[in-house]
Amino acid sequence: MVSRFLDAKLKILGFEPDEFMFLIGPFLIFYLLDLTFLGVVIGIVASYTIKKIKSGKPEGYLIHLLYRAGVPFQGLLPPYITHYEE
């Protein structure tokens, strides 16, 4: 079914693209290790966990969470800088 709203978010199997990557990532890794069922279970648990973390939060919440944890992003000041003067 095609969404009738212009600003509707893309959904893949009911998940947003970042949540879907948490589903498919573990599956692919464990598939290569010949542990397909374990990959499916871990992928489903990881994607639902990310979905619950994101629920009720503004868009971009995961990026802010990663930045606060110390992950650097191109175009932003490194996370360890707490004071900046020009």
Please report whether residue 50 resides in a domain: yes
Please report whether residue 54 resides in a domain: yes
Please report whether residue 42 resides in a domain: yes
Please report whether residue 37 resides in a domain: yes
Please report whether residue 84 resides in a domain: no
Tally of domains within the chain: 1
What is the domain range of residue 36?
17-69
The DSSP bridge partners found for residue 12 are 15
Q: 3 falls in which pLDDT band (50, 70, 90)?
A: low
CA dihedral 61, 64, 69, 73 (to 10 degrees): 130
Please report whether residue 1 resides in a domain: no
Of 70, 61, 86, 65, the C-alpha closest to 78 is 70
pTM of the model: 0.66
Task: Evaluate if residue 51 carries a pLDDT over 90.
Answer: no
